[in-house]
A and B are shown apart, each in its own frame.
Chain A
Amino acid sequence: MAKTVIIDPVTRIEGHAKISIYLDDRGEVDDARFHVVEYRGFEKFCEGRPFTEMAGITARICGICPVSHLLASAKTGDKILAVKIPPAGEKLRRLMNLGQITQSHALSFFHLSSPDFLLGWDSDPAKRNVFGLIASDPELARAGIRLRQFGQTVIELLGARKIHAAWAVPGGVRTPLSEEGRTWIRDRLPESRQTLNLALNLFKDLLNRFQTEVEQFGQFRSLFMGLVGKNGEWEHYGGQIRFTDSDAKIVADSLNEDDYQDYLGEAVEPWSYLKFPYYKPLGYPDGIYRVGPLARVNICSHFGTPEADRELQEFRQRAGGVATSSFYYHYARLLEILAALERIEQLIDDPDLTSNRTRATGGINQLEGIGVSEAPRGTLFHHYQVDENGLIKKVNLIIATGQNNLAMNKTITQIAKHYIQGTEITEGMLNRVEAGIRAFDPCLSCSTHATGQMPLQVELIGADGKVLNQVWRN
């Protein structure tokens, strides 16, 4: 008899989600679906607000990567003012984004995912979390906590608070970095680099043991999308959009964010509040693409900093060229922290960071603007239309995580098919399915601009559509 397993809630991800696993008559996995169960409706209720408020409001889409919304919103505002922001403004925005990449990736690796790697997929679910990590390896936990703290403090030193700093504005940023701030960051860099090396070595060791995970956690061909710099280098703030395929072939390059509607479409499925973006020229669902750390590492020609470039070579060797396994997201995330730390190092003595010319002013010169930035989880687009007074008439947001929706569904289906056999479904099997989602480090608050909760429930659904078994891991 066919059945469905539901995982509810999915835990150690950011946001509310469930997973259904559909079994056929023989008890074999037929399909798996990732349901996002929250929605807040920012695109509608922002209407009528001044566009200058958008950074403050949209930051509240997500407490994990508020900086991404701040930056995308400010960049959209730059276009509405039609100004060129001062060099200091851009460098300061970049610095904050590097701080954010560091904190967000550290959170994903240490707090959320490492309990799976270090305590084990099948370990006691009551302890398989950051507190369990604290108990089993307090020094590693402390190092990870301090690495995240480093990123959060970079944000705070610039914007006066760690979460929802109202700092980036249309035209630039409000305040420069202080000299004390510069000193603090410079002094803490070596420790952060050390922690990152520790994590990287640890993960590479684990990779040697995790060959099955590499093969089964979402190993498939797809497109990859993200921003790259002028010379094809890794980019997180400016640059232009590139799509590559799983053979490293460039499918589209130098795309402008202003034309995003030409190459990105959004589909809806009734079983999730998370929409399904796709690459328009290939249609839905063939236009499946991945964004975020894995995509950025795959599409760039190089990082442009020495250590990260050395690691990139090794990464590509291990992956055999383009990394097509979603499990490599974890690895790519560590490379990006390294690149972020190196870039902070390069930037930190730049005199512009403490300059007072951080902001250009202007009136409403354009009635429409589209801004893009790389959030930790992938490319983020804000699109506003305003009236002559700068009041919002229409908003569209394309959020990083949503763009991985097709890929996340494909990943969990692959994992479920491999690990779930027969009717005896263990907690550890289900945890692996969830871990497939964790690899993407989805931010569901963001992706549905929704109401943040991220439990996961697994339901076992029979061929007749009857729920046979609900699995609540406790």
Chain B
Amino acid sequence: MSKIKFATVWLAGCSGCHMSFLDLDEWLIELAEYVEVVYSPVGSDLKEYPEGVDVCLVEGGVANEDNLELIHLIRKRTKTLVSFGDCAVTANVPAMRNMLGGSEPVLRRGYLELADETPQLPYAPGIVPELLDRVLPVHEVVPVDIYMPGCPPDAHRIKATIEPLLKGEKPKMEGRDMIKFG
């Protein structure tokens, strides 16, 4: 049996969903038999998101130019895109800044008001991506195939979502165990 091409990415989140993925613990050893991890901030050194990915877990909302570019690329190159955790599903905590209207208030506080030396807004085109005005959930930017809420979803939920996907089946995202926020 050929292995499933598997990827994980993080956009605007806290990496908690990825940590919960690592909480699969020894099941990761089993998982390694079924998947080839082709892109993952915690599980691969490959720098470019490849073509032909079967399953990708996307953590985090879309908050800056880099996130935006990456999520479009992911969508183009991925069969099943899973919105992984509350930040991906609703934009969650990172979206708290949306209420302030634009990215400027948060930038001003962080880099002008709370700086002692050389206060200035970070600006390095091509290197430091600009923040979007609003942090968006993934499905507002590209179509999503499966929603896995939770902050983070615990390891059981992650396993119950991934396991069917390994067999090419769609997981049943139903009931409190599978679709509770928080």
With A12-B45, A474-B46 as given contacts, are A145 and B12 in contact (CB-CB < 8 Å)?
no
Whether the Cβ atoms of A269 and B15 lie closer than 8 Å is no
Q: State A452–B124 Cα separation when bound (angstroms).
A: 19
Report if B9 contacts A (CB, 8 A): yes
Q: Is A60 in contact with B22, judged by CB distance below 8 angstroms?
A: no
B96 close to chain A: CB less than 8 A: yes
- CB within 8 Å of B: which of A237-287? 265-273, 275-276, 278, 280, 284
B10-55 residues with Cβ-Cβ distance < 8 A to A are 10-20, 22-23, 25-26, 28-29, 32, 37-38, 40-48, 50
Q: Which residues from chain B contact A45 at a C-beta distance below 8 Å?
A: 96-97, 99-100, 106
Instruction: State A445–B94 Cα separation when bound (angstroms).
Output: 11
Closest partner residue, chain B, to A48 (CB atom): B99
Residue B47 contacts which of A14, A41, A455 (CB distance < 8 angstroms)?
A455
Mark out the residues of chain A between 1 and 22 whose CB falls within 8 Å of any chain B CB in the assembled complex.
6-9, 11-16, 18, 20
Contact in complex: A44, B26 (CB < 8 Å): no
Report whether B118 and A8 are in contact in the complex, using a CB–CB cutoff of 8 Å.
no
B149 interface residue per 8 A CB criterion? no
Asked if B60 and A452 make an inter-chain contact with CB atoms under 8 angstroms apart, the answer reads: yes
Residue of B nearest to A149 (CB): B25
A275 to B116, CA, bound (A): 10
| Residues of B contacting A142 in the complex (Cβ-Cβ under 8 angstroms) | 26, 29
Contact A270 B123 (CB under 8 A): yes
- Whether B78 is near chain A, meaning CB under 8 Å from some CB there, is no
A76 to chain B, nearest CB (A): 16
Q: Which residues of B contact A61 (CB under 8 A)?
A: 14
* Selected interface stretch from A122-130, A221-229, A324-332: A122-130
The verdict on A270 contacting B106 (CB below 8 Å), with A14-B15, A163-B19 known, is no
Residues of A within 8 A of B61 (CB): 451
User: With A and B bound together, what is the CA distance between A212 and B10 in angstroms?
Assistant: 34
Is B161 engaged at the interface, CB distance under 8 Å to the other chain?
no
Decide yes or no: A145 and B26 within 8 Å by CB, A37-B66, A38-B64, A451-B63 being known contacts: yes
Cβ of B13: which chain A residues have Cβ within 8 Å of it?
A: 63, 445, 451-452
Q: Which of A6, A37, A60, A284 contacts B93 (CB 8 A)?
A: A60
Min CB–CB distance A18 → chain B (angstroms): 6
Q: Does the CB pair A20–B127 fall under 8 Å?
A: yes
* Closest CB in chain B relative to A261 CB, distance in Å: 8
Name the CB-closest residue of A to B123: A270
Do residues B93 and A269 form an inter-chain contact, with CB atoms below 8 A?
A: no
Chain A: residues with Cβ within 8 Å of the partner, total of 85
Given A15-B15, A44-B110, A266-B116, are A452 and B28 neighbors across the interface (CB < 8 Å)? no
What are the residues of chain B within 8 A of A163 when measuring CB–CB? Answer: 16, 19-20, 23, 152
Q: Which of chain A's residues have a CB closer than 8 A to the CB of B131?
A: 39
Name the residue of chain B whose CB is nearest to the CB of A446: B14
Asked whether A135 is an interface residue with its Cβ less than 8 Å from the other chain, the reply is yes
Q: Known: A44-B106, A135-B32. Is A453-B9 also a contact (CB below 8 A)? A: yes
Interface assignment of B129: CB less than 8 Å from any CB of chain A: yes
A412 within 8 A of B: no
Rounded to whole Å, the gap between the CB of A258 and the closest CB of chain B is: 17
Residues of A within 8 A of B93 (CB): 40, 57, 60
> With an 8 A cutoff between CB atoms, is A88 at the interface?
no
Among B44, B106, B119, contact of A126 (Cβ-Cβ < 8 Å):
B44
Distance between A309 CB and nearest chain B CB, rounded to angstroms = 31
Report which of B14, B108, B121, B124 forms a contact with A63, defined as CB distance below 8 A: B14
User: 0/1 per residue, A420-456, Cβ < 8 Å to B?
Assistant: 0000000000010000000000010100011111111
Interface residues of B (CB under 8 A from A): 9-20, 22-23, 25-26, 28-29, 32, 37-38, 40-48, 50, 59-61, 63-64, 66-67, 92-94, 96-97, 99-100, 103, 105-111, 114-124, 126-129, 131, 135, 151-152, 154-155
Q: Which 3 A-B pairs have the closest CB atoms?
A: A63-B16, A41-B106, A451-B12
Which of A's residues lie within 8 Å of B, judged by CB?
A: 6-9, 11-16, 18, 20, 35, 37-41, 43-46, 57, 60-64, 66, 107, 111-112, 125-126, 128-131, 134-135, 138, 141-142, 145-146, 148-149, 152, 161-164, 265-273, 275-276, 278, 280, 284, 396, 431, 443, 445, 449-457, 459, 467, 471-474
* CB<8 Å pairs between A and B, sample of 26: A12-B45, A14-B42, A37-B66, A38-B64, A39-B64, A41-B109, A44-B97, A44-B100, A60-B16, A131-B43, A142-B29, A145-B28, A267-B115, A270-B122, A271-B128, A276-B117, A445-B13, A450-B12, A451-B64, A452-B10, A454-B41, A456-B47, A459-B127, A473-B47, A474-B48, A474-B50
